A = this chain, B = another copy of it.
Amino acid sequence: MVKQTIVPPTRILIINPNSDDSMTRLILESARRCASPDTRVDCVSTPEAPIFIENYLDELQCGPGMVDIGRRESGDYDAFIVACHSDVNLDVLREIVDKPVVGIGQASMHAAAMLGHRFSVIQTTDHSVPMKEDLVRRYGLWEKCASVRAVVGNSDSLLGAVAEAAQRAVGEDGAEVIVLGCAGLSGLEKEIERRVGVPVVDGVACAVVLVEGLVRCGLTTSKVRKYRPE
């Protein structure tokens, strides 16, 4: 077996679209847990963004800060991740940045599609279910999606509520894989997997390994039409 060539470390910047620094720390922790040893991962909060992204106005309001980060850091990183499971402003970043940009929603749902017959996405609010359904359709993954479900909230903890919704998705909707529908759930995947008995996919982890891979393959966003800046 031949020895691998030494390559310089891959530098990944994760953009947390909201301004909650504790969320940023949580995301970074998850990211580093699964990153390759030769990868440098950083995560930044988005200045002047809302503290939590839950509707269309929030998505808009975190946009300018995200664009500033993308432009400023474009030269210093090899790849970018949008760490909100609704993949907010992902298209804008792809347009203004020359490096690969992936959303944690997209990364997790594409991975889930390869792990079983169909996946279900668990949302933390009922309000966000239609938005996630739109995203699934937009990615062309509707046929692989058993359901998008919100936590019901009878449980005394977020972990319990997500596990219960996941259990119902498996039992009632035919899901074979669970996708965590919010960056804030990152880190719960292994415990839910233990409780429910099917693979549980966290978008932060998936996006990190996916962009590492894209960088290693020398692949980036096509600039031929859709994402051509002008």
Which residues of A are at the interface with B, using a C-beta cutoff of 8 A? 1-2, 4-7, 32, 34-40, 42, 54-57, 59-60, 63-64, 67, 89, 91-92, 94-96, 100, 102, 106-107, 110-111, 113-118, 126-127, 129-131, 133-134, 137-144, 170, 174, 176-177, 190, 197-199, 201-202, 205-206, 208-210, 212-214, 216-222, 224-230
- The answer for the CA separation of A229 and B56 in the assembled complex, in Å, is 8
Task: Decide if B137 touches A176 in the complex (CB within 8 Å).
Answer: no
Q: How far is the CB of A88 from chain B (nearest CB, A)?
A: 10
Number of copies of this kind of chain in the complex: 6
In-complex Cβ contact of A92 among B57, B96, B199, B201 (8 A): B57
Given known contacts A32-B4, A143-B137, A201-B219, A176 and B114 CB-to-CB distance under 8 angstroms: no
Closest chain-B Cβ to A139's Cβ sits at a distance in Å of 7
Contact of A222 among B106, B116, B210 (CB under 8 A): B116
- Do residues B206 and A213 form an inter-chain contact, with CB atoms below 8 A? yes
A217 touches B209 (CB 8 A): yes
User: Which of A64, A113, A116, A225: most chain B Cβ within 10 A?
Assistant: A225
Interface pairs A-B: 7 shortest CB-CB: A209-B213, A116-B222, A117-B130, A140-B143, A130-B226, A176-B222, A4-B37
Q: Are B217 and A198 in contact (CB under 8 A)?
A: no
Q: Are A34 and B217 in contact (CB under 8 A)?
A: yes
B229 touches A130 (CB 8 A): no
Pairwise interchain contact A56-B219, C-beta atoms closer than 8 A: no
Residue in A36, A63, A227 whose Cβ sees the most chain B Cβ within 10 Å = A36
With A36-B36, A216-B34: A199-B225 Cβ-Cβ less than 8 Å: no
- Given A1-B40, A217-B209, A230-B54: A130 touches B176 (CB 8 Å cut-off): yes
Chain B residues whose CB sits within 8 angstroms of the CB of A214 once the complex forms: 111, 115, 209
Q: How far is the CA of A117 from the CA of B225 in the complex (A)?
A: 8
Q: Is the CB of B127 within 8 A of A228?
A: yes
A164 to B190, CA, bound (A): 38
Since A34-B217, A36-B216, A59-B92 are in contact, a sample of 4 more A-B pairs with Cβ atoms closer than 8 Å, ordered by chain A residue number, is A116-B222, A190-B218, A201-B219, A206-B217
